[in-house]
A and B are shown apart, each in its own frame.
Chain A
């Protein structure tokens, strides 16, 4: 089973709302990632969790707050977003380095901020 499940698939939120994106994997992976992808651009790394600890934050604004409650779950809490934050948010998981570590992506949450 190489599945990463993200919910919701689509989300429309106002600039004053608080919402959360959820990601789940049952592959026993111990590294989980959040990526942001704008149209016609490659995915850009936001956060990496390794063994449930935040290990990389790519200078993401504090209005995005990640959380890893356990080894299978990854959340992204959203608050006071801007219209330019509208994008496809992708979750991925893999085993941590070293070695050839393929990552598997969820279907993404398509976020629109109005």
Chain B
């Protein structure tokens, strides 16, 4: 059963605008959430994370929001740049666990 879901397979956004990626999870044991970014022919690379004790974490142009009651998180990229065009994976795990549960990914295309 898929415990992490990214329901939007793709997103197209104009350069300079905001990109919003969404992710839902079902396992209430998850308490640590990550976003990974993947370029073609490369492995996923860590982007940003958030623990369940927070509802927001910011790193430069990237901000992740967590709504535990809704079991929902989102990644905001502001402003979007052409180099942000990639596949973004949402992942989750528990503090006392190690394996990551991933979503299916959202392909972001930033238009010039």
Q: Do A and B share a complex? A: no
- Residues on B lying within 8 angstroms of A by beta carbon are none
- Residues on A lying within 8 angstroms of B by beta carbon are none
